[in-house]
Structures are given as C-alpha cells and as structure tokens.
Structure 1
Amino acid sequence: MEIKPIRTEADYQDALAAASAFFDQPPARGTPEGDRFEVLLTLLNAYESAHHAIEPPDPIEAIKFRMEQQGLTVQDLVPMIGATNRVYEVLNRTRPLTLSMMKRLRSDLQISGDVLLSQRVPAGGRGPSARRTPVSRRRAKAVPVPR
C-alpha cells in the first residue's frame, strides 16, 4: 500500500490495516519500513484526533469511579471536599468543584487536573457552576435599586 492522506473512513481502515502489520514487530527507526510505520502512525493519529476524538471523562463520574476503585466512602472525601453535606452536594452536582477541591482531589485521588477542570453544563440548562451566589437579604436591602 502506498502512503497517502487519510480522507475517508475507508482510507483510515486501509492505513490501520497497513500499520497493524508492524505492531507485533516494529521496524527499526531510520529504515524504510521504520519511516513508513512512523508516517502511517502520524497520519492515523491526525485522522483519529479529528474524527474519533475521545472527550475527557466527566469529573464527577471520575471521582465516583475512583471511589469505587479504591473502596472509598463519602467520609473519605471530607478532607478533600469539605463537610459531608458538601461532598453529597458535589456528587449530586448541586455544588461545583472549587479550585482548592480540585487540587486536593488531584493530589489525593490521582485524578488528572484536566479531567477535574472539565466541568460541563448539563444539556438544557445552566450548570451548578453557572449559578449566581445567593445574596443575603440584609445585603440585598443595602444595595440601592435603580429606577
């Protein structure tokens, strides 16, 4: 197979088949086969990035997965997130993760910072991070309202 740009899914499948022959015994770098393999991998990577991109996991699902994986309870997250009720609010998506929570989760649970920073707004509405901070009634009365 000659090396050519990958424009269609059929081109992708052909390039994948050609590259798979090299996976069991990769050719030495600098050889004609090694160069061909490297170019095929570069083309495959570019096509996959554009057409088969994998989104990072949802941060809350990543936390729940790590909890399940390590046998952790809500109480185990208290040092990282705060009081028990705050942990439940985060896990139920009624409170967004703060930067300090993300730092502790990243360090203690070994969850990638990129994953924790990827909080998403749920479809059809504003997410918890888009909520306005409630203003106390006393403070609201002290602010003059323009007429």
Structure 2
Amino acid sequence: MENIRPIRTEEDYDWAIAEVTKYFENEPVVGTPDADRFVMLTDLIEAYEDKHYPIEALDPISLIADYIERTGKKQAALAEIIGSRSRASEIMNRKRALNVAQVFAISRAWKLPAAELVKPYHLDVDERERVETQKGPRQAGL
C-alpha cells in the first residue's frame, strides 16, 4: 500500500484526513489499489478517533428523543406506541422509567435496539418524590 502509516499523533491524523478527503472528490473504483488505500485510511482514522475522541452512547431517553427528532416524529407517536400521552410525557421528562412492555413496543415499532432501551438512566424526581420513595409505602402514607 502506497504511503500508508499508523496514526500516532494529531499531525498523522491531519495527514490521513487530508489524504482521504481527496477520494471524496475523485471516488476510487472498487477493487483498485486506490479503493483499498481509501478503506485502509478510513479504518485507521476510525481507530484513532475511537481511541482519542470516544463518543458516549446515548441513554434510552436520549436515544428515543434523537430518533423522534431524526425522523420528524412528535412525542404523540411515542404515546401511540405505549398507549398513553401522559406516560409518554412522564418518560420523556424523566419522571417515569420505561417498563419492559414499553421497551418491547418501542423496539418493535421503531426498530431501536432493545438492549439500548433497557440500559439504566437518570430519572429527574423532585425532593418530595425522592423522600417518599426512600421511606417506602407505609412511611410515605400510601
């Protein structure tokens, strides 16, 4: 492979980006040495970026919000899937956690990975709710 080298520094990274950019202007034909060089450069760039600029995975609510935004849907579409506008609002506002049935329904309807939807995430509960949850049903007067 002509002029391929590991990416160890920011200068190497800048060089690789400049090299791969040329191929966007003049796309190589699949199966040619230039196409192979393009693939190798993009693989090197990806490995360097994964190591030096990792992107944190979205939590379940951020994943749903991202999907809604990318597809031009509204929160009402989520409400249709889970069967309740108020539940959809509580979920998206992090007041209520997704349950297994909701995860299954969202995953099936929108083809989002269930494994990503069941990951733990932060809920925003007010102080009164937090205290009542810590006390348990009897002490909270329930």
TM (norm. structure 1) is: 0.64
Unaligned residue ranges in structure 2 (runs of 5+): 124-132
One-letter identity of the residue aligned with 1:56: A
Matched residue count: 127
Measured at CA, do residues 86 and 70 of structure 1 come closer, stay the same or move farther in structure 2, by a change above 3 Å?
closer
Give the CA RMSD over aligned residues.
Answer: 3.3
Q: Which residue of 2 aligns with 1:145?
A: none
Confirm or deny that 1:70 pairs with 2:73: yes
- The 3-state SS of whatever aligns with 1:96 is coil
Percent identical across equivalent pairs?
33
CA distance in 1, matches of 2:32, 2:89: 57
Alignment of 1:1-147 (within 5 A): 2-65=3-66, 66=68, 69-73=72-76, 76-81=77-82, 83-121=84-122, 136-137=137-138
One-letter identity of the residue aligned with 1:103: F
TM-superposed deviation, 1:47? 1.0
Checking the alignment, whether the CA contact within 8 Å between 2:28 and 2:35 is kept in structure 1 is: yes
Measured at CA, do residues 59 and 4 of structure 1 come closer, stay the same or move farther in structure 2, by a change above 3 Å?
same
One-letter identity of the residue aligned with 2:36: D
One-letter identity of the residue aligned with 1:36: R
Measured at CA, do residues 49 and 114 of structure 1 come closer, stay the same or move farther in structure 2, by a change above 3 Å?
farther
CA distance in 1, matches of 2:55, 2:8: 19
